[in-house]
Amino acid sequence: MEGNAVRLRNLRKVFGRTEAVADVELGISDGEFFSMLGPSGSGKTTVLRMIAGFETPTSGTVELGGKDVTNLAPFERDVHTVFQDYALFPHMTVEQNVAYGLKIRKVPKAERLRRAAEALENVRLEGFGKRRPSQLSGGQRQRVALARALVSHPRVLLLDEPLGALDLKLREQMQIELKELQREVGITFVFVTHDQDEALTLSDRMAVFRDGRIQQTGTPAEIYERPASPFVAGFVGTSNLLTGETAEQVVGKRGTFSVRPEKIRVLKETADGSGDPEPDHTAATGTVAEVVYLGDATRFLVDLDAGGRLTAVQQNLETSSEEVAAFRGTRVRLQWHNRHNFPVAEAR
Ligand code: ATP
């Protein structure tokens, strides 16, 4: 997909002796929900701040809508940033908070009020306009911050861990609302998070960062099912790496492979320990080190006879917790289709 809304070319940022961002090349299309995912300190916030204009690149360029904005101030760019702490004005009403940016730009009062009401409706806060931020819940404050960003119809909305302050249940609910909102308004969202589930849930595409560099860019399914490196395989989901001999036997190629836990079937080992794998399947034998009952599914940690440990997750279709517990310490055969073996390049 060609980037049109945002294009970063050779972007680099050095703070003193820290290279926070190195050689970032990235294109984000109009209307995309794009996430930047990575561990703490991997450079994603610095990239976001360079798109917003709060940080000047050491080298490289930022383009918005095909225009080079590298040297423009934040307010000269067609973007708006939503921060984790929302930064609402406590002494103003919700309506005044939302309309504030329009007031600064001298938009007439009647239009300000109309657009603020529309933005509050977008985030399902009709009727909350006269309250003050202190009279709202965390999730409602978050929505006011979003309404304030939407009211100016920016080309790109930048969101820096906007759900980080919410508890898990509310966070999951807001993820769904945010996704719906983005579809509704059609604005490009660039979202920073260190939470892989959040990135997978929300994104059309995502980039995985490590040490100031992008490790992989792709759709959630591409990243999850075809991780390009052991780092990505481990950071987004359970890596389940198989190396060397196993991989060689299995697919006739030497290297490191990743297989996702839910692709693996856990079978009781046959009495004589034999049993051929189904055609086009990979099989491995081992001992169940641990079973974790998850309610809707069970997680098995299996120590392989060939060395190493794999995690397998099975849906509890007809299995009870007692049956699950009985697997601990038993011998099992693991089996999965060869198409679920993904080669991952060695770490740099
Ligand atoms: P987090 O999830 O913790 O916010 P991040 O991936 O967003 O992390 P950045 O905040 O972009 O990472 O930081 C990248 C690197 O740059 C870190 O090593 C950080 O310490 C450094 N850094 C960021 N801002 C500054 C600054 N203003 N001065 C000096 N170093 C900085």
Distance from C-alpha of 46 to C-alpha of 42, rounded to nearest angstrom: 9
Which pLDDT does position 66 carry in this prediction? 93
Q: Look up tokens 């050095």; give the residue.
A: 14
Mean pLDDT for 296-316 is 91
Q: 241-344, superfamily in CATH?
A: Nucleic acid-binding proteins (2.40.50.140)
Q: Does CATH number 3.40.50.300 belong to domain 6-235?
A: yes
DSSP-derived secondary structure letter, 72: S
Mean pLDDT for 199-217 is 95
pLDDT in tens, 8-52: 999 999 999 999 999 999 999 999 999 999 999 999 999 999 999
Judged against a pLDDT cut of 60, whether residue 159 lies above it is answered with: yes
Mean pLDDT for 90-109 is 91
pLDDT in tens, 127-146: 999 999 999 988 888 889 99
Which pLDDT does position 240 carry in this prediction? 82
Please indicate whether residue 38, judged by its CB atom, sits closer than 6 Å to ligand 1. Answer: yes
Question: At 307, is the pLDDT very low, low, confident or very high (cuts 50, 70, 90)?
Answer: confident
- Tell me the pTM: 0.82
pLDDT in tens, 230-257: 899 888 887 788 775 444 454 455 677 8
Please indicate whether residue 193, judged by its CB atom, sits closer than 6 Å to ligand 1. Answer: no
* Domain boundary assignment for the chain: 6-235, 241-344
Asked whether this chain's domains 6-235 and 241-344 adopt the same fold, the reply is no
Q: Where do runs of H (alpha helix) occur along the chain?
A: 44-52, 94-104, 109-122, 138-150, 168-185, 196-202, 220-225, 230-235, 244-251, 321-325
Please indicate whether residue 20, judged by its CB atom, sits closer than 6 Å to ligand 1. Answer: yes
ipTM field: 0.94
Q: What does the angle CA 316 – CA 318 – CA 322 come to, to the nearest 5 degrees?
A: 75
Task: Pick the atom of ligand 1 nearest to 192's CA.
Answer: 7
Ligand 1 site-directed mutation target among 42, 46, 211, 235, most atoms within 8 Å of CB: 46
Please indicate whether residue 40, judged by its CB atom, sits closer than 6 Å to ligand 1. Answer: yes
The more confidently predicted of residues 273 and 308 is 308
Q: Report the chain's mean pLDDT, rounded to a whole number.
A: 88
Question: At 185, is the pLDDT very low, low, confident or very high (cuts 50, 70, 90)?
Answer: confident
